[in-house]
Structure 1
Amino acid sequence: MDIRAEFEKYSFDVVDKLFSEFDGDLSKMTVPEQEVVRIWRLEADMYNGGFMQFFCNWGYENFVETQKVLKKIEAVKSLALITECEKIISKLKDDDRVKALWDIPKYLPEYITEAEDNRLNELDELYWTNVDDIQKIAYDVYLA
């Protein structure tokens, strides 16, 4: 089996375990399992809807913890990409209208320039080029 596919299967198994054994409580998993869940969240959402989907689905705390995982596994390009994305969207962090994470896309256009909006799209597209080959790196860290 291709190592990328093997890690992907493993990550799905770990996410299944999160719900089947721990009722979705990430804190009950081992640290490596938590890290795998965070990688799964990042990969699944970034490739599905981009950074906004990843951030709005999982929140700031997950974002910070995912940054730590990317640093640990040395996925430095992906780390830089998501960090730049968060910096752009953070302009509305003090907006009282933002009651839920999915309010961010609703009000973000009021805070960012067209160039910043274009940059968010560019960063998503750059991520989609698989800049770090996270599946391979993660295989080497968690399964090899």
Structure 2
Amino acid sequence: METDEQRQAFEDYSFEVTRRLFDQHGGKLDQLPEKEQEVVRIWRLEADMYNGGFLQYFCNWGYENFEKTQAILTKLGAVKSLAIITEYEKTIAVLKEEERIKELWDIPRYLDEYLNEEQQQRLNELDELYWENPDDIQLLCYNYYLKQDA
């Protein structure tokens, strides 16, 4: 199987697992087997990072999901992607104590008050670095989650 086919196979599998999460389990992630929970977390990361960047991913799924995804990236050996999302989260963590933040989607509203122009530019750079696909996460996931089944 060619690497492009392997990437596509994992992407198809991740969509299938995510569909099943909602169709069979009403979106309750803890009702899926652990391996499939990990696949959903990778799907969330990839879908949101490539759609709207880290802020979209983080604000949609939260800190606990972020931490569990860090552990998955570590297990997969996706060290560059892990470094990117970790640096991004550490940069926006300055807002953790901000009283006006009632929900995660309030974070983008106040970032300008906490980050200087250089820091904001770095966040843009981090999104762009992720979009370069430095670890080829889809291929890593194929090899980790599907290869033994192929």
CA RMSD of aligned residues (A): 0.7
Q: Paired residue for 2:73, among 67, 70, 74?
A: 70
Q: What secondary structure is seen at the aligned counterpart in 2 of 1:7? A: helix
Structure 2: which amino acid aligns with 1:62?
A: N
TM-score by length of 1: 0.98
Structure 2: where are the runs of 5+ without partners? none
**Cα distance, 1:16 vs. partner?**
0.3
Give, in angstroms, the shift of residue 40 of structure 1: 0.2
Q: Which residue of 2 aligns with 1:91?
A: 94
Match status 1:33 vs 2:47: no
Residue 25 of structure 2 is aligned to residue 14 of structure 1: no
Displacement after TM superposition at 1:56 (Å): 0.5
Residue 108 in structure 1 maps to residue 111 in structure 2 = yes
Q: TM-score, normalised by structure 2?
A: 0.95
1:22-72 Cα offsets, whole Å, 9 max, x none, are 110001111110000000000000000000000001011110010011001
AA in 2 matched with 1:52: L
Q: Per-residue deviation at 1:108? A: 1.1
Write out the 4+ residue segments of structure 1 that deviate beyond 6 Å after TM superposition: none
Tell me the distance in 2 between the aligned counterparts of 1:39 and 1:113: 31
- 2:63 corresponding residue in structure 1: 60
State, as a whole percentage, how many aligned pairs show the same letter: 62
